[in-house]
Amino acid sequence: MLNCIIMWIIANYKPKEFLIFKNKIQNSLNNVQFYRPCYQKNKVIKALLGNYCFIKHENFENQQFLKTLQYAKGLNYFLTNYKESQNEIVDFIDFLKKNEQEPEIISSDFFINFLKIKGIFLSGIFKDLTFDLIRQNKKTLTVSIEDCLTPITVNKHKVSVNFL
């Protein structure tokens, strides 16, 4: 008896053909699992990874088997080197799943956590406090001050800041 390792692959599908592609693969394989993380913006759900999704199945260890799926309707291609990257793929999927607000919908806080623009107020009531920049426009900065969960908006013309 052969040992089958259940593997994840990454597929690039044609724009607007995800459901066609998913149905084709599900009709071709038993026990296949898809993961396509999305986010919600202005009540519209958008794919977080563009035209990429993850697919898990026990026969993906066999590259010959995978070649039988390469012409599936809606598929552009499968990424290569997926065998060597299984740990990273699993870790990434687990990380995304921990940041879901509902299945396959990533929480909006997920994006705020990745802001790397830090600064310090040089004047005003927040003088000497550090912040993470969330958003800026011509007149205002929206920031999170020293791990405070609630973002605040300040007038750029009334404070001095230094970005770190």
For residue range 77-116, what is the model confidence (pLDDT) as tens digits?
999 889 999 999 999 999 999 989 889 999 877 776 665 6
Task: Tell me what pLDDT residue 1 has.
Answer: 40
Q: 93 and 48 in one domain?
A: yes
pLDDT of 57 over the 90 cut? yes
C-alpha distances (whole Å) from 98 to each of 29, 31, 34, 41, 107 are 27, 23, 17, 19, 9
| pLDDT value at 37 more than 70 | yes
pLDDT of 33:
96
Decide if 1 is inside a domain: no
Looking at 94, 111, 128, the residue that finishes a domain is 111
pLDDT band at 76 (very low <50, low <70, confident <90, very high): very high
| Residue 148, CB-side half-sphere exposure with 13 Å CA sphere | 16
Please tell me whether the overall predicted TM-score, pTM, comes out greater than 0.85 for this model. Answer: no
For the cut 80, the answer to whether the pLDDT of residue 58 exceeds it is: yes
User: Is 154 contained in some domain?
Assistant: yes
How many structural domains is the chain composed of?
Answer: 2
Give domain status of residue 19, yes or no: yes
